[in-house]
Amino acid sequence: MDRGDSPLASAPRVQVTIEKTLLMLLVECLAERLPGVPAGVHDLADAQVQAIETWVEANLGESISIDDLAVVAGASPRSVQKSFRRLRGCSPMTWVTRRRLARARSLLDHADDTTTVTDVALYCGFFQFGRFAVRYRQEFQEKPSETLARARKSAERRAQNEGASRSRLG
């Protein structure tokens, strides 16, 4: 950056981003070394993490970023990340993805004849369908289309059984 012919020197936005990142890292390093500051003092409380989780559940279909979660908690993105790792054992965005996948599975399990995998993916906030299918399969060991097909077969069997029961009673 200090060379005049560097591509970074001619891109002011890159310089500002690098400066902010370096400053943030310096502040975090200093905070880690302050004497008398108990470990985890910068972590969010359980109530704040639960508030984030409630907000995420209500907004799963929307684009969600770590900055959005920080606003909900009234904390820094770094605090949100640390707290999720401590309290949930994963990053906040991993937790969001898992919730989206769980919602997608539930919707596919209770699908009707008009439900499509694409509609479910979009409803749950997945806008890259290939990645959705890959993550779904990793999480549930089956394709979303397989879940949908199984749910439709179950619905057909239930409908046939109900029809048979009505005909015996009538």
Domain boundary among 89, 123, 153: 89
pLDDT in tens, 123-156: 999 999 999 999 999 999 999 999 999 998 888 8
Domain identity same for 22 and 53: no
Q: Which residues of 73-100 are buried (b: 16+ CB within 10 A; e: fewer)?
A: bebbbebbbbbbeebeeeebeebbbebb
- What does the chain come to in residues? 170
Domain identity same for 79 and 100: no
Domain identity same for 132 and 163: yes
Domain identity same for 104 and 57: no
Distance of CA 119 to the CA centre of its chain: 18
pTM for the full predicted model = 0.68
Which of 75, 59, 153, 145 minimizes the C-alpha distance to 105? 145
Q: What DSSP character marks residue 6?
A: -
Domain identity same for 48 and 31: no
Domain identity same for 32 and 47: no
Domain identity same for 105 and 122: yes
pLDDT in tens, 101-117: 999 999 999 998 899 99
In sequence order, the 6+-apart residues with CB closer than 8 A to the CB of 48 are 73, 74, 75, 83
Q: What is the extent of the structural domain holding 67?
A: 40-89
Question: How many domains would you assign to the chain?
Answer: 3
pLDDT in tens, 157-168: 877 887 766 666
Domain identity same for 78 and 104: no
